[in-house]
Chains A and B, each alone.
Chain A
């Protein structure tokens, strides 16, 4: 039986901040995009003691991982980590993920914070793709799907995460 989850608490930065955590790819990588957002609580106040982690396929839809039955493709870390600032802001520099078989391009996001006894998980989808054909996206009640779609910005995308209340982000049972 699994070990239970507990909150990261307010001092998560001590253990979970890394130099370069935000850089899924190094600065200046051709085609790199910033994904920016804010993490907000049920009163629309910024969460300043939170952390997001991202996990995604490379631009060809491949993973550097032995359990991918198509084979591992080396070279792309696929993982980003950004603690929120006092304004609740987070950001990762990455490459747009490719489509997976039968799925639209997406990035998995784990959210940790003081007051979250277990991580919550959401997904970032992108506005330029046919998300309606993605089985996970399609399983979400239609009125809430827009909370999963990032908005285009000058240097990439914007994806805000609302833990509770109006326009609450869709979270998944993993």
Chain B
């Protein structure tokens, strides 16, 4: 069976699993080399989870009027050739405006917000577009090194069409002074690739007297032109 696989990302795009400046990688990165997996049927297919799993209100995290700066997050899910990925499930989670997660493992003394659970889901439309209404998360400290703070970020999980396209990433805000100091952001070797994790302020979509807007496109792997050589 001649199957068209997906292009492999060049070195430097994704962070190395062994990234010593992010301490939690120390005991969790594989020591052995990864074994090349040719793209067969299990890899070029993948879960198509859209219908029935997402309701209209799942993309609005502000229904209970949480505290914080209201923001519209929107963008497209694209493949590596710029083609829209429709019906893609996009899941997000984030801290509240004070930088606190609604999670029992988060114990730093910033207030919880009873109006905010920090979880959202959306499906891309026929042009690959998604849109969330949420609040800007706060920065928060962590124990990676002395005086370590995570820049404001929103976790994104995306399913494309294929197992090979599965992506979990984090979205950052432009001009955040913590970005140059964050070992997770900077674990991505390629500077341009790092830049693709930073949303763009979008005045055109910003709603007067209501909410600032940021645009964040997510690019998944594109398809090969010819079957992969075995």
A residues lining the B interface (CB < 8 Å):
1-16, 41-43, 45, 47, 49, 53, 55-57, 63-65, 67-69, 77-79, 100-103, 106, 108, 110, 112-121, 135-136, 139-140, 144, 163-165, 168-174
Do A49 and B37 touch across chains, with their CB atoms under 8 A apart? no
Query: How many Å lie between the Cα of A10 and that of B107 in the bound state?
Result: 12
- For the complex formed, measure the closest distance between the CB of B78 and the CB atoms of chain A, giving whole angstroms: 9
- For the complex formed, measure the closest distance between the CB of B166 and the CB atoms of chain A, giving whole angstroms: 6
Do B93 and A136 touch across chains, with their CB atoms under 8 A apart? no
A106: contacting residue among B42, B155, B170, CB under 8 A: B42
Contact residues of B between 50 and 106, Cβ < 8 Å to A: 80, 91-93, 101-103, 105-106
- For the complex formed, measure the closest distance between the CB of A161 and the CB atoms of chain B, giving whole angstroms: 10
Of residues B41, B185, B197, which shows the largest number of chain A Cβ atoms within 10 Å of its Cβ? B41
Quick check: is B161 within 8 A (CB to CB) of the other chain? yes
Q: Which residue of B lies closest to A136 (CB)?
A: B37
Of residues A7, A47, A101, A135, which shows the largest number of chain B Cβ atoms within 10 Å of its Cβ? A7
- For the complex formed, measure the closest distance between the CB of A93 and the CB atoms of chain B, giving whole angstroms: 16
Interface of A is mostly: loop
Do A67 and B9 touch across chains, with their CB atoms under 8 A apart? no
Quick check: is B139 within 8 A (CB to CB) of the other chain? no
Residues of B close to A16: CB separation below 8 A: 91, 93, 157
Task: Answer whether A1 and B80 are a contact pair too, CB < 8 Å, given A117-B22, A172-B36.
Answer: yes
Size category of the binding interface on chain B = 35 or more
Do B15 and A119 touch across chains, with their CB atoms under 8 A apart? no
Task: Answer whether A43 and B27 are a contact pair too, CB < 8 Å, given A4-B197, A6-B170, A100-B41.
Answer: yes
- For the complex formed, measure the closest distance between the CB of A25 and the CB atoms of chain B, giving whole angstroms: 14
Residues of A close to B164: CB separation below 8 A: 174
Quick check: is B109 within 8 A (CB to CB) of the other chain? no
Task: Answer whether A163 and B28 are a contact pair too, CB < 8 Å, given A3-B220, A14-B119.
Answer: yes
Query: How many Å lie between the Cα of A50 and that of B163 in the bound state?
Result: 19
Do B22 and A115 touch across chains, with their CB atoms under 8 A apart? yes
B17: contacting residue among A65, A69, A116, CB under 8 A: A116
Query: How many Å lie between the Cα of A170 and that of B41 in the bound state?
Result: 20
Quick check: is B174 within 8 A (CB to CB) of the other chain? no
Residues of A close to B34: CB separation below 8 A: 120, 171-173
Do B14 and A117 touch across chains, with their CB atoms under 8 A apart? yes
Do A164 and B30 touch across chains, with their CB atoms under 8 A apart? yes
- For the complex formed, measure the closest distance between the CB of A88 and the CB atoms of chain B, giving whole angstroms: 12
